[in-house]
Structure 1
Amino acid sequence: MSQLAFDIDAMIHEVEVQQMPAWNGAPLRFTTDYYTPSQLDAAFRRYQVERGHFGCVPLSHMWNRTGLTGAHADTNGHTLVSFTADLRHSYLCDGHRWQSETPCTCLGDLMHQGICEQCSWHAIAADENGVVEAWHDHAMPGWRSLPILPESLRIKLQSGESSHRGQAWLDRYPEAWQFDGAPIRTERPTRAPRHIAGRSPWGGFDLAA
C-alpha cells in the first residue's frame, strides 16, 4: 500500500507540474547572466517544485542561498547579496551514477556570486573573498590603499579590550573612510584569510590583508 500511495502522489505531482504556467524566469540551470536576487530565488523554487528538493543543489547547478556564511552588506547606496552554485562532480549526476552514455553535467567547482541590485551589477568568483573584493571595488573604490591594522591590535579591538595603541591607530585612520559600513583591512595569520562581514569598527567588512 505504501508503494501504491507513493506512485499516486508522484502521478498527482506530475499532473500539477504539467498544469503549471510555462516558466519564463531565470534559467533552471547554471548561468553567468545577470539576474536579480528575487529572480534567482524564484527560479530555484521553481526547480524544486518541478523536480523535488532531494539533491537540488548539486543536480541543478543553480544559484542559491543554501549554506551561505554571511557575505552580505548594505553600504553607501550599494548592497551585496551573495549566492553559491555547486558545479562540483556529484554522485547524483546520471552520468556518474550509472556510468552510462549520459553526459555528465558537473562543470567544476563551488562558485560564488555577489549582486548589487541597485546597479544591476554582479561578479562571479571561485571563492567568497573574490566576490567581496569585487564588490568593494564596485561600491567603495580605493579600499585597497587603506592602512593595515596589525594583528596584535586587531585582536584587542575586536575582543573589546581597552587598547591605547589600538585607539591611537584608529584616531589616525583616514577620516573619509570613517562612515557606517566602511571596511577595515587587517593583518591576518595565513590560517584565517576570510573576509568577515560586520567586523570593522564602522560595521563594514574586516578585509584580510
Structure 2
Amino acid sequence: MKIVDLPLFAFDDFEQPRAWPHQVPPHFTTAYFQADELRAASAYASELYLATAPYGTPAHAEAWNRKERMWQPSPVDGQYRDANGHQFDLFTAGDGYCPCPSVGFRANPECQCVKPGCVLAQCDTCQWRTFQRGEPAAVAAWHDHAFPGWRDLPVVPPSVKRRDDRMEPHRDLRQWCLDHYPAEWLALPSAPIVTERGGAGTRSVPHMSPWGGFDISHTLRDEVLL
C-alpha cells in the first residue's frame, strides 16, 4: 500500500452533528427569550465549538461563526436580580465572520450580517428589552427603564475620592451623595450615582455606588439611544 493511500483520519471517529436542544435558535435572533434561555443556548454553542474537530475545517469555522453570532453574556451580565424591582441582563452579538462580498471599497448594501457592537439589555421582570450600539448606550437605556430620572442627578466631581484601599466606594463618596442627592433617591434599592470622568475611563461600573448600584459616567447623560 502506498503512503498516499493511507487515510489521515477515519470519518467515523468524528462526533455526529447533535440536534439543537434549545428554543433559542442557533443564530442571531430578535425574538424575545428569557435571559436564562439565552445563556444556556450560548453555553451550548460554545460547547459545540470546542467539540468540533479538526481545527480549520469548514465545520469548525461554521461552529465558531454560530457561537459568535448568537447572544453571548456580557462581562456585566446578571449583576442585578432585583434593582429597584428590575432585573439587569446584558448580551452582545455580532463578532462572527461576515461572508458577504464587498462592492468595490464599500460594504455590500444587501448584507444582513450582525455587526460588531450589537448589544441587548433586558429586564425579564417586565419583559422589557432594548437593542443598542455598544454597552454604554445599553446601560443608559436600562437605567432609563429601571431608574428614571438618573440623568438629572448631581454629578460627583473628580475631587471626591471614589475608591478606598480595598477598591470599594470611599466614605467621602458616600458623604458627598448624602449631602447632594435626594433622600428618596438613595432609598431606592441598588441606587446608581453619576460621576464625572475624563479620558478613556468612562465605563459605567456595577456595584460601585455606595448603595450597590452602578457608578455611571457623566458622559452617558447625553447618550443618544436607538
Q: Distance in 1 between matches of 2:211 and 2:39?
A: 30
| Structure that is richer in helix per residue | 1
Residue pair 1:34, 1:121 contacting (<8 A) in 2 also: no
In the superposition, relative to structure 1, how do residues 38 and 152 fare at CA in structure 2: closer, same or farther (>3 Å)? same
Aligned residues between the structures? 188
Q: Does 1:39 align with 2:44?
A: no
- Name the CA distance, whole Å, in 2 between partners of 1:2 and 1:44: 35
1:8 aligns with 2:12: yes
Deviation at 1:31, TM superposition (A): 1.4
Q: Is the 8 A contact 2:156 2:176 kept in 1?
A: no
- Indicate the residue corresponding to 2:90 in structure 1: 82
Over residues 128-150 of structure 1, what are the superposed CA-to-partner deviations in whole Å (9 max), with x where a residue is unaligned?
A: 11111111111111111111100
Rounded to whole Å, the distance in 1 between the matches of 2:171 and 2:22 is 57
Deviations 1:97-117 (A, max 9, x none): xxxxxx976432221111211
Query: How far did residue 70 of structure 1 move?
Result: 1.7
- For the residue of structure 1 that corresponds to 2:9, the secondary structure is helix
Determine what percentage of the aligned residue pairs are the same residue: 32
CA 1:162/1:40 → structure 2, altered by over 3 Å: closer, same or farther? closer
Deviation, structure 1 residue 171 = 2.5
Is residue 90–residue 120 contact of structure 2 (8 Å, CA) maintained in 1? yes
- Once the two structures are TM-superposed, the CA of residue 169 in structure 1 deviates from its matched residue by 4.9
TM-score, normalised via structure 2 length: 0.69
Is 1:147–2:151 an aligned residue pair? Answer: no
User: SS where residue 216 of structure 2 aligns?
Assistant: strand
> What 5-or-longer segments of structure 2 have no aligned partner?
1-5, 53-59, 102-109, 219-226
Alpha-carbon contact 2:120-2:130 (below 8 Å) kept:
yes
Any idea what SS the aligned residue of 1:4 has? Answer: coil
The one-letter amino acid paired with 1:208 is S
- Asked whether 1:70 is paired with 2:76, we answer yes
For 1:9, the aligned partner's letter is D
CA distance in 2, matches of 1:182, 1:49: 37
Residues 131-170 of structure 1: pairs in structure 2 closer than 5 A? 131-153=138-160, 156-159=161-164, 163=172, 167-170=175-178
Q: How many angstroms does 1:126 deviate by?
A: 1.1
Structure 1 counterpart SS, 2:136: helix
Structure 1 residues 142 and 57 mapped into 2: Cα distance closer, same or farther (>3 Å)?
A: farther
2:210 maps to 1:205: no
